[in-house]
A and B are shown apart, each in its own frame.
Chain A
Amino acid sequence: MDHLIVDQIINGLQLGFMYALIALGYTMVYGVVKLINFAHGDVFMVGAFVGYFGFSQWGLPFPVAVLTAMAVCSILGVTIERIAYRPLRYAPKIAALISALGVSLFLEYFGSLKFVFGPNYRVVQRPFEEVQYHLAGITVTNIQIIVFITVLIMLAGLQFLIYRTKIGMAMRTVAVDHNASRLMGVNVDNTISVTFAIGSAFAAAGGVLYAIAYPQIHPFMGIMPGLKAFTAAVLGGIGIIPGAVLGAIIMGQVETLTSAFLSSQARDAIAFGILILVLLIRPTGILGRTEPEKV
């Protein structure tokens, strides 16, 4: 029984880490443009497909396929921002949100076209066999190890980028105030583009990992993970990077433990129920700061 719980916690960690990759994109974009980027879950889907084509049809080695997916999605993310969000940047916030919904639907339906990804489910042939390791009665798979290591490296890289580089500093200033950043000589447009590129690359990596961990992909696969990851970002406090990771780990655990020990159908209800409860206690998320309102 104890081993079962530990196994489930490891499974939950795997799911949570993947949510974290998606949630980071949501939270970074929210930080710099205050927009819920509903299309982010679909960028994740495109990443999963590009990675899948990479290792199963174009014959790329797995790490190269992941990098290809990240590159393609970076370009996609920047293009989406340029076309659909930039014209609305200083319009009412809801306009950009509706545009994001439009982009999300566009990617889903465009992906469903027969000459793009096709409307059907595809079973992913993993580029390597799944191997199980038994350590002191606990089961870990090589896929889980790959997920953990990739995500930890990416998180460390992001931490370095945001706190130790010039572009990271620019991102942090833009998150506070666009005009003040401009006065300080920060190129706001470029900084926002870079934020979208990084966020989308993270989602793409998440997509490829998701495709090998839960080997089935289709053009609408991004909706639920996207929504969960966004919820995770809100749970942790949107706009705050450690908050996104914390929220994602909580979501992963809640979801896995609920389906393992309670009921897999109640999974979503309990995850969102917890979200509502947390928001009632901390209206801006677990790590969120409530700023006093100024008149």
Chain B
Amino acid sequence: MGKADSSKKTILLLAAAVIIYALIRTLEAAEFINPYWQRVIDQALITTMGALGLSIIYGFTGQFSLGHAAFFGLGAYASGVFDKTVGHGALPMFLLSLLIGAAVAGLMALIIGLPILRLRSDYLGIATLGFGIIVKVGMDNSSKFLPILGGATGMSGTPQVANFDWVFWFTLLVIVLVRNFVFSTYGRACTSVREDEIAADVMGINTTRIKVIAFVLGCALAGLAGGMYAHRYPFLHPSSFDFLKSFDFLLVVVLGGLGSMTGTVVTAIAWVFVLEGLRMVLGEAFIDFRGVIYALILIVAIILRPQGIFGGKELGFLVPKPMGSQAGGKGGVNAGTGA
């Protein structure tokens, strides 16, 4: 029963995606969505991919990371440089460069994660924050080692081959990947580490290994999102990847509700639209108030919903199997290859 149910849910998810895709495409063709809003939509989807990575790390595994934007940036630069110098925007090279972005971010996550994931809660947060700042300093001074990276003046020249289609279907791919991971044996182990590390350890889960797997996978997704970003927006600048950007990912994951993919996806998209919507609603005269209102929305939202908008719940078709049935199964095998 579990398997049939699972594939039915997947079909439902795909059907929903096709409908949304068709809707956006139609609106675009009817010139209801102009290129500006198209960019906003793409930005929202790219943020979703990165935020889902943090959702695995923090939402599902409970490892507090304040350096997510660093991995996003590493992926963007790695992918951008590769395509700029070697790929020149050819399709296979574009896909390869996305993989490279994810791989570089994942590898860095492995190197830094192995030692620092021993730290707990706030100490881990501050160590990852520190790592993020080190990466930012590295990017600012990168032109000293590799002039092509541009250093503090930023880097341009990545082929702009990522359009809405690519961004949309990759986002869907990431959603399915994360869903399969979360409901796999590994995903269950992640949740148990989040709930109680000692209990998980006693149950025979190698907690260090699980934490590193979650961290590497989450950061690789950030790197993938970064690679997409590099191919969608022509200019990469170190200040786009500083710790304030890490906070953006964090607040999306927390406002959505820890341990809810639905929450992360909905909040990531809603948050980007709120920001852009404010720009439109306020107009030229009150544009200075944008930051103030943004901050107030954040404070009011978290006070009203401290557990997040979705509070750990999922929309039906993101749950492949009913809770309480046999955990594990096929999802784990598929997800394992993603890292």
Query: CB within 8 Å of B: which residues of A?
Result: 36, 84, 87-88, 91-95, 98-99, 101-106, 108-110, 112-114, 119, 227, 230-231, 234, 238, 265-266, 268-269, 272-273, 275-276, 279-280, 283-285, 293, 295
Which residues from B are CB-within-8-Å of A276?
Answer: 116, 127, 130-131
Contact (Cβ within 8 A) B247 A231: no
Contact (Cβ within 8 A) B302 A279: no
Q: Which 10 A-B pairs have the closest CB atoms?
A: A109-B291, A272-B130, A91-B306, A106-B295, A102-B298, A102-B299, A95-B306, A105-B295, A269-B137, A269-B134
* Known contacts A98-B255, A231-B126; A273/B295 CB under 8 A: no
Query: CB within 8 Å of A: which residues of B?
Result: 64, 115-116, 118-123, 125-127, 129-131, 133-134, 137-138, 140-141, 198-199, 243, 247, 250-251, 254-255, 258, 288-292, 294-296, 298-299, 302-303, 306-307
Nearest residue in B to A284 (C-beta to C-beta)? Answer: B123
Which residues from B are CB-within-8-Å of A275?
Answer: 126-127, 130
Which residues from B are CB-within-8-Å of A101?
Answer: 247, 250-251, 298
Q: With A98-B298, A269-B138 given, name 16 new contacts (CB 8 A).
A: A87-B303, A94-B258, A98-B302, A99-B299, A105-B295, A109-B288, A109-B290, A109-B295, A110-B295, A113-B289, A279-B116, A279-B126, A279-B127, A283-B118, A283-B120, A293-B198
Nearest residue in B to A267 (C-beta to C-beta)? Answer: B137
Q: Which of these, A88, A114, A279, contacts B119 with CB under 8 Å?
A: A279
Secondary structure at the A interface, as helix, strand, loop or mixed, is helix
Which residues from A are CB-within-8-Å of B131?
Answer: 272, 276
Which residues from B are CB-within-8-Å of A84?
Answer: 299, 303
* A283→B122 CA distance, assembly (Å): 11
Contact (Cβ within 8 A) B303 A110: no
Nearest residue in B to A88 (C-beta to C-beta)? Answer: B306
Which residues from A are CB-within-8-Å of B292?
Answer: 106, 109-110, 113
Contact (Cβ within 8 A) A269 B116: no
* A93→B58 CA distance, assembly (Å): 13
Contact (Cβ within 8 A) B133 A269: yes
Secondary structure at the B interface, as helix, strand, loop or mixed, is helix
Which residues from A are CB-within-8-Å of B138?
Answer: 269
Q: Which of these, B126, B247, B255, B307, contacts A91 with CB under 8 Å?
A: B307
Which residues from B are CB-within-8-Å of A231?
Answer: 126, 130
CB distance from B150 to the nearest CB of A (A): 15
Which residues from A are CB-within-8-Å of B299?
Answer: 84, 99, 102-103, 106
Which residues from A are CB-within-8-Å of B129?
Answer: 227, 272
CB distance from B198 to the nearest CB of A (A): 5
Contact (Cβ within 8 A) A283 B119: yes
CB distance from B243 to the nearest CB of A (A): 8
Contact (Cβ within 8 A) A95 B295: no
CB distance from B258 to the nearest CB of A (A): 7
* A272→B137 CA distance, assembly (Å): 11
Which residues from B are CB-within-8-Å of A119?
Answer: 288
* A99→B306 CA distance, assembly (Å): 9
Q: Which of these, A87, A113, A272, A293, contacts B133 with CB under 8 Å?
A: A272
Nearest residue in B to A283 (C-beta to C-beta)? Answer: B119
Q: Which of A238, A269, A295 has the most B CB atoms < 10 Å from its CB? A: A269
* A228→B198 CA distance, assembly (Å): 33
CB distance from A53 to the nearest CB of B (A): 20
Contact (Cβ within 8 A) B289 A88: no
Contact (Cβ within 8 A) B254 A234: no
CB distance from B315 to the nearest CB of A (A): 22
CB distance from A110 to the nearest CB of B (A): 5
Nearest residue in A to B115 (C-beta to C-beta)? Answer: A280
* A114→B286 CA distance, assembly (Å): 11
Nearest residue in B to A294 (C-beta to C-beta)? Answer: B198
Contact (Cβ within 8 A) A92 B307: yes
CB distance from A152 to the nearest CB of B (A): 28
Nearest residue in A to B298 (C-beta to C-beta)? Answer: A102
Which residues from A are CB-within-8-Å of B126?
Answer: 230-231, 234, 275, 279
Nearest residue in B to A119 (C-beta to C-beta)? Answer: B288
Which residues from B are CB-within-8-Å of A293?
Answer: 198
* A280→B133 CA distance, assembly (Å): 17
Contact (Cβ within 8 A) B295 A103: yes
Which residues from B are CB-within-8-Å of A93?
Answer: 121
Nearest residue in B to A84 (C-beta to C-beta)? Answer: B299
Which residues from B are CB-within-8-Å of A269?
Answer: 133-134, 137-138
